Structure 1
């Protein structure tokens, strides 16, 4: 996941950056002046982040209001130096999704982030049943009939995007932006095709041939339980192997 931290105090920013990194999340730093300048210039990059953290700034509530206008449904979390009911209320009324008190704990932060993320996608529970799959929206690998399906970092990141949008078409570009924090373009977005192929293969092997990821040509991919007719067909007869170059496993870290 791609996180933007807006923090005026450099030492605090460095400490928060280290702590967030412990959760395996990609964190970028900015200060209040730069954030305001970019918004005044009409920069729309704020919507590309999975979450924006607002730390020590001169007017937290005002900044959150501006960020909410230009960041769409991006998660916004306020960070307070000490517990303060008045400031908490101001943040929440301005459009923040949650408020934490510094110093933060990496595991608690990650758990809260997953909770807000699933609620923004309309999921009240951290578990979903999709066919024979149990999908966990708290960062754990999915399970098939109670048995864990082990996924690599990249596979898990892409699977999570699809699972959060179960039953809905997700464009290849959206997957690429969410997983890599960049705009996809040939040949880079071919990476998504590779990992969709890997995911399909693992799901088919674990379920006896069930197909959970559908290609919607010209639009993207859709994750959903196979229909009864598809499930009755039986195992997939053949899955073409990937080329050695494309089959190379995860050598680089990708935030999930």
Structure 2
């Protein structure tokens, strides 16, 4: 599942390689990777964009007052993210909604598409989630300085602390935690996607090894797959809501 399972029956044991599904491989030519090499990751990033177009653009191109099934799905996703942005950022969030909605849909579709057998999960790679997190971090920092100037640094100054010495210590801690944001933001998403897919592949390797009792790991895989589907949606939500929270810090210095 999510990349397929490799089984070794020659020795009668279990030969599971759960991390093989995350290897980036060229689609054409030799095994070498260059700057412009088309890989399985490139393919599934493009598939994610195509899925987003099919899910959002086509059903709403000829929108009707009484929405059909696909139009209802597209509008529900739109309103879900719109309400999230409005609740956290208020009126200031309207100008950032297109970007936040794009991030949410990209991560959601990439996560869910990665559950398709023999597929590839781009968001299980820190190279992908790291870029997304860095874009958020740099954007938030630039917006903060553009809106508040050097007063943006007051975000790290805990004025409620009783002594200046404690405020200086807390300033350093807050500054470090701010620069750690891209790491935690990206690792959380990549780690959750990688862990679940690896567990699915391990259970898949038990199926042929157990013979008739292979129905047990199949049943377990069914439950894990349902959990992974939930995790795929929740992780897209978490990444998006953290983006909104970081933007709120930059806008209002909370």
TM-score w.r.t. length of structure 2: 0.27
Indicate the structure (1 or 2) with the bigger Cα radius of gyration. Answer: 2
Higher strand share: 1
Higher helix share: 2
Q: Which has the higher contact order (CA 8 A, sep 6+)?
A: 2
TM-score w.r.t. length of structure 1: 0.26
